[in-house]
Amino acid sequence: MNVHLYQIIIVGISSVMMYLGIKEFAKREAGQTVLKLIVRLMVWGGMSLFAVYPDFTLVLAKVIGVVDNFNAVVMMGFLMVFLLIFKLLSAIEKIEQNISEITRKEALNEAHDRIEALRLELKDRNQGTEGREG
Amino acid sequence: MIIAIVIPVFNEAVVIGQVIKNVRAHGYDTIIVVDDGSSDDSFITAAAHDVLAIRLRVNRGKGAAVKTGIMAANLLDADVVVTFDGDGQHDPADIEPLIRPILEDNIDVVLGSRLLNREEMPFIKMIANSIGNFITWLFYGLLVSDSQSGLRAYSRFAALIIDTKADKYEYDSKVIREIKNNRLNFSEVPVHTLYTEHSSNKPHKQGFTNGIITLGRMVWNLIA
């Protein structure tokens, strides 16, 4: 069996993505669920499957009713575009989360003195109430 | 006992003053208003009503505003945190039954459910909410009667432990996920919805388009 470069690249990238998914799930990081892990394994595992067994696309083609086989170059192009979009969207989402975090910290810092004053006021009020009840 | 009411607002200057007055009239005076980068006078109006007003300089979404408010409530050492929409669609009279399970039964999270008061909800909204509940169950494995309600109460433990990076409307569903992942006790109580002209007509509500966007975000979060 001849092994092509694109197969190694796709299997390599898919393996890294699946490893990261399993690692994040195992470490129980925020946002990691069983369903997310399954979907991730299906998407990236599916890519590896098509890369390692290109003939599988013939089976798929028959099942979905497409007559022609996928051209390897076109498939590679689609995969690359998919990967690029995937990484770009992931990066944008990460940036969005960072903006939210910075905005939140800035807002809480700005309100810090008022929060602290209110906290002390509420504490005094609570102690007064408990004292009267005691 | 500190009960903090967190009110996220985005361009609600017209109604936020009255919302604050109504909440205060029901005996809750620890009110945190988080302005989510409004372009109107929401922040100034809220601050003028003697509440803890916090301003996010950039609009980050309802989830980001609620999370900021809950963090502020945690800094105040609040025993119970209630999230309450700023557009006037929630009834402050529902706060008391909402927090009671936390105070009396050691429940961690209480979800206000509009669908337990079905007669008040327009049919189309009922269908949309049922779809939202189904999708939330499909993605996060916990079936609740109103996964999109903004009227919720959290114990101090729950307010500290619940953590999600969701900024937009999917925050409400992500809280359901957090309840399941952290094995928190929860209950649901029926709440009223006041379908005012203002809340029905505002452009940034969780309508059909935003619902589709929220669904897209939830799907994306599954594969990314």
Beta strand B30-36 with B152-155: parallel, antiparallel or unpaired? unpaired
Q: Is residue A15 part of a domain?
A: yes
Which is more confident, B208 or B62?
A: B62
**A107: nearest CB among B68, B174, B220:** B68
Q: Is residue A58 part of a domain?
A: yes
Q: Is residue A7 part of a domain?
A: yes
**A30: nearest CB among B76, B164, B223:** B164
Domain B3-223 has CATH 3.40.50.1100: no
Portion of chain A with pLDDT greater than 90, in percent: 18
Query: CA B116: distance to chain centroid?
Result: 17
Q: Is residue A124 part of a domain?
A: no
Which DSSP state fits B22?
Answer: H
Q: What is the mean pLDDT of chain A?
A: 80
Query: Does the structure show a pLDDT above 90 at B81?
Result: yes
Q: Is residue A107 part of a domain?
A: no
Size of interface A-B (CB pairs under 8 A): 92
**Residue of A87, A97, A99, A122 best to disrupt the B interface, most CBs of B under 10 A:** A122
B4–A contact, CB cutoff 8 A: no
Q: Is residue A103 part of a domain?
A: no
Q: Is residue A31 part of a domain?
A: yes
What is the total count of domains within chain A? 1
Q: Is residue A126 part of a domain?
A: no
ipTM score of the complex?
0.80
Under an 8 A CB cutoff, do A39 and B223 touch? yes
pLDDT per residue as tens digits for the range B174-188: 899 889 888 999 999
Under an 8 A CB cutoff, do A89 and B222 touch? no
Under an 8 A CB cutoff, do A104 and B68 touch? yes
Q: Which residues of A touch B (CB under 8 A)?
A: 28, 30-31, 33-36, 39-40, 43, 86, 89-90, 93, 96-97, 99-100, 103-104, 106-108, 110-111, 114-115, 118-119, 122-123, 126
Domain that holds residue A32: 1-70
